[in-house]
């Protein structure tokens, strides 16, 4: 899928993997409503296609996303900017990363601060440049963390570590992001995208699409499930369902025969109702 109507992102397909690039390098890929809308539109289109089994998101040039596109007039955070024109331009399904059935990997090739950091933290996995500058700098701009960060970050890395980042707004490196549990791997900058694509290809080949979708959705649902027994019942119910499907047999046989599995269940058509986003 190469959609020429996108102005600030690009979409490239590499077999079952889609690579989305934030494409405002002259502004260090600073976040705008147009970027947000285009990204959600691309997510929606890719998620609705069974042949796309993993998505990688990165930034053009030397940054991933340097945060919101700052306006010295004070309009950056005052609510006066609108996405209405872009909502009308990009019709069709638009989805946040958390709503996708498809695994998303953030290839954080450089700076990711403010909105850039919250964007990356929405994804399922992150590969970061070792020397990338990251930061939840909201309090240093006179606002507060947003986009669910006050809820999600303490759950991801613990309250004390989250407050160290959220209250201070300090800049930290990609290496520290891994130490904190915010990223899976830190690698040299030039290896970020290749590493993320390698992970995506591994998922696309070896992970059953419906199994991945259920795992994603249950893990997110269970962040708000206070009844552990209820969570276990749902997990057990869906494990039993999965065990009765053809992909469960195929996964075992492919492993024993030492070959790539040939998955047949559809993430768009076969996902159980209770595991739908």
Q: Distance between CA 9 and CA 27 in Å, rounded? A: 13
Which tokens belong to 37? 């809308």
Question: Rounded distance, CA 92 to CA 41, Å?
Answer: 7
How confident is the model over 12-46, as pLDDT tens digits? 999 999 999 999 999 999 999 899 999 999 999 99
Tens digits of per-residue pLDDT, 186-217?
999 999 999 999 999 999 999 999 999 999 99
Given the structure tokens 């990223």, which residue do they identify? 183
Q: Give the residue extent of every domain in the chain.
A: 9-204, 207-275
Q: Which CATH superfamily is domain 9-204 in?
A: 2-enoyl-CoA Hydratase; Chain A, domain 1 (3.90.226.10)
The rounded distance, in Å, linking the Cα atoms of 143 and 248 is: 49
Domain covering 207-275 in this structure, CATH number: 1.10.12.10
Task: Tell me the pairing of strands 111-113 and 17-22.
Answer: unpaired
Q: 0.85 cut: is pTM over it?
A: yes
Please state, rounded to an integer, the average pLDDT across all residues of the chain.
Answer: 92
Average pLDDT over residues 60-83: 70
Which percentage of the chain shows pLDDT scores above 70? 93
Ranking 91-95, 221-225, 236-240, 258-262 by mean pLDDT, the lowest is 91-95
The 3-state DSSP class for residue 81 equals coil
CA distance 106 to 122: 9
CB 40 within 8 Å of CB 119: no
- Give the tokens for residue 270: 């076969």
């Amino acid at each position: 899928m190469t959609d020429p109507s996108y102005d600030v992102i690009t979409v490239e397909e590499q077999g079952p993997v889609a690579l989305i690039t934030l494409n405002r390098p002259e502004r260090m890929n600073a976040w705008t409503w147009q970027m947000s809308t285009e990204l959600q539109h691309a997510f929606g289109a890719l998620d609705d296609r069974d042949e796309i089994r993993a998505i990688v998101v990165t930034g053009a040039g030397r940054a991933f996303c340097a945060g919101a596109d700052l306006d010295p007039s004070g309009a950056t955070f005052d609510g006066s900017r609108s996405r209405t024109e872009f909502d009308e331009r990009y019709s069709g399904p638009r989805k946040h990363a958390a709503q996708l059935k498809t695994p998303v990997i953030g290839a954080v090739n450089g700076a990711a601060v403010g909105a850039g950091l919250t964007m990356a933290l929405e994804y399922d996995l992150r590969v970061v440049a070792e020397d990338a500058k990251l930061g939840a700098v909201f309090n240093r701009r006179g606002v507060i963390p947003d986009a669910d960060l006050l809820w999600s970050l303490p759950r991801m890395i613990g309250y004390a570590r989250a407050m160290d980042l959220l209250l201070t707004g300090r800049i930290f490196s990609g290496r520290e992001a891994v130490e904190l549990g915010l990223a899976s791997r830190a690698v040299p900058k030039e290896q970020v995208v290749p590493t993320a694509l390698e992970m995506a290809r591994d998922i696309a080949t070896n992970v059953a699409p419906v199994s991945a979708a259920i795992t994603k959705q249950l893990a997110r649902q269970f962040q708000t499930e206070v009844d552990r027994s209820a969570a276990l019942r749902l997990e057990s119910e869906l494990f039993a369902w999965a065990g009765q499907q053809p992909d469960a047999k195929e996964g075992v046989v492919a492993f024993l025969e030492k070959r790539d599995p040939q998955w047949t269940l559809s993430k768009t058509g076969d996902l159980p109702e209770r595991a739908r986003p």
